[in-house]
Amino acid sequence: MSNSMGTKSKRLIQRFRELGIAATLRKLFADRVMRRSTSVIVEYQAGWSVVGDGAQSPPWLSFRTVRKGDELPPLNDWLAWRDAGFAAMLEAGKVGIFALDDGVAIGCVWLSFADHHDPVAREHYPVREREGYHYCWLVDPADRRRNVALPMCRYMLNNFPILGIDRSFGVVDRVNRPSYLIQLRMGYRERGVKVVHHHLFGWRWTTMSRYDGVLGTTNPKDRKMPRE
């Protein structure tokens, strides 16, 4: 019990340092009391863009793909509390791609090759043959200005032929401008499906609906993906 409380306290202190007191309190309210977020499903198909190689990656940055039966790479302090969850994802057959600094993971993205069900968010995404559902995009806030996310996305796409993927898709929050714009740059397109996540006093559920045109991010000045 004490270890759990200590871990939660450390995470809270870390959030205060990263976001400030006001932003942290807003996030806590959204996480614990009420929140409504709107996302779009985006997808990528082989041949839609020229991804490029790893020449633009920082020289200190490397990547590692882990599958069921593999050991997780060492996780930095920001990711360490997720180790049990990551291990469970591997055991369930998910594939993790980790960004490493000197052999230590500072970011990741996960792929599911079978129907993906999230019992917490109450959402389900069917995955067909030669498809991959990508999720759990994470980069340590301390490293987000070090050019990690774009090379990680490029590495993932370049490994799709090895992984047997012709089409990948995922859900991106419209508030998350960096994630949307990186996937836009890599050739992703909006699918025309809106995903709304609802949070109310610990209860979570998801609704989906179709839309015409493209939605983009919440910033009207941002570029928008083309429509599939």
Residues 6+ apart with CB under 8 A from 200: 33, 34
Q: What integer pLDDT is reported at residue 23 of this predicted model?
A: 65
Q: Which helix (H) or strand (E) holds 200?
A: strand 189-200
Domains of the chain: 1-32 (no CATH), 34-210 (3.40.630.30)
Which CB contacts under 8 angstroms, 24+ apart, belong to 198-207? Answer: 198/35, 198/36, 199/30, 199/31, 199/34, 199/35, 199/36, 200/33, 200/34, 201/32, 201/33, 201/34, 202/32, 204/120, 204/121, 204/122, 205/121, 205/122, 206/121, 206/122, 206/123
Strands 167-173 and 131-139: parallel
Could you give the dihedral angle defined by the CA atoms of residues 92, 98, 103 and 106, in that order, rounded to the nearest 10 degrees? -110
Q: For residue range 156-166, what is the model confidence (pLDDT) as tens digits?
A: 999 999 999 99
Q: What integer pLDDT is reported at residue 202 of this predicted model?
A: 74
Would you say 162 and 205 are in contact if contact means Cβ atoms under 8 Å apart?
A: no
Q: For residue range 114-141, what is the model confidence (pLDDT) as tens digits?
A: 999 887 777 889 999 999 999 999 999 9
**Which is more confident, 18 or 167?**
167
Would you say 108 and 79 are in contact if contact means Cβ atoms under 8 Å apart?
A: yes
pTM, 2 dp: 0.83
Q: How far apart are the C-alpha atoms of 223 and 146, rounded to whole Å?
A: 23
Query: Which residues on neighbouring strands pair with residue 107, listed in sequence order?
Result: 99, 139
The percentage of residues in the chain with a pLDDT greater than 90, rounded to a whole number, is 69
Rg of the Cα trace of the chain?
A: 18
